[in-house]
């Protein structure tokens, strides 16, 4: 079943406990387990996987792609833990959500007063339909960027990885 986001559900469908369990499960997985999970994602959410696999065409290194695939695996595992039937996320829906995300980012960057801009970002996180999942993704991206800076491995293409990661959570939230 493919869905373009017509369904609206209030409140997170993925709980903090389910997200935590997903994170722990992915951390314990062997390479073979992760490969099997990627195959499952390919079957059930091929467009989410494709949004990751296209990243090298944008200049993203394979090491950085691995970070994004980790985010995808955690998000997918959290979806599974919720025991819900999740519709197929279409490419069109991904594009819509990416436009929405970029619009939100640009809006907060255009706010002249730093405190108000910070508050706008915090409000976006608080009001996000999948707040625990989106917050997890944002925190992982921030930690990843700090590590890249520490190692002197920052690149212009890192923004594509972060946008793709955030868009995965947005798509899950709004489907």
CB 110 within 8 A of CB 155: no
The predicted model gives 161-167 an average pLDDT of 96
Residue-wise pLDDT for 29-82, tens only, equals 999 999 999 999 999 999 999 999 999 999 999 999 999 999 999 999 999 999
> CA-based angle 83:18:67, to the nearest 5?
105
pLDDT in tens, 86-106: 999 999 999 999 998 888 777
pLDDT of residue 70: 98
Whole-Å CA distances, 162 to 7, 13, 97, 113, 137: 26, 23, 14, 25, 9
Could you tell me which residue, 98 or 128, shows the higher pLDDT?
98
User: Please, which pLDDT band fits residue 7 given cuts at 50, 70 and 90?
Assistant: very low
């Amino acid at each position: 079943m493919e869905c373009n986001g017509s369904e609206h559900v209030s409140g997170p469908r993925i709980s903090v406990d389910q997200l935590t369990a997903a994170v722990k499960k992915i951390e314990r997985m062997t390479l073979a387990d992760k490969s099997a999970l990627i195959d499952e994602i390919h079957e059930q959410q091929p467009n989410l996987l494709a949004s990751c696999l296209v990243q090298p065409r944008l200049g993203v290194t394979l090491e950085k792609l691995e970070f994004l695939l980790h985010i995808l695996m955690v998000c997918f595992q959290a979806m599974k833990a919720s025991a819900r039937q999740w519709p197929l996320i279409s490419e069109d829906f991904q594009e819509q959500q990416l436009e929405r995300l970029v619009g939100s980012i640009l809006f907060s960057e255009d706010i002249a007063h730093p405190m108000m801009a910070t508050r706008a970002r915090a409000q976006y996180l608080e009001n996000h339909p999948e707040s625990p999942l989106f917050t997890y993704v944002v925190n992982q991206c921030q930690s990843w960027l700090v590590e890249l800076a520490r190692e002197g491995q920052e690149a212009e293409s890192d923004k594509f990885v972060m946008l793709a990661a955030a868009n995965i959570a947005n798509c899950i939230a709004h489907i």
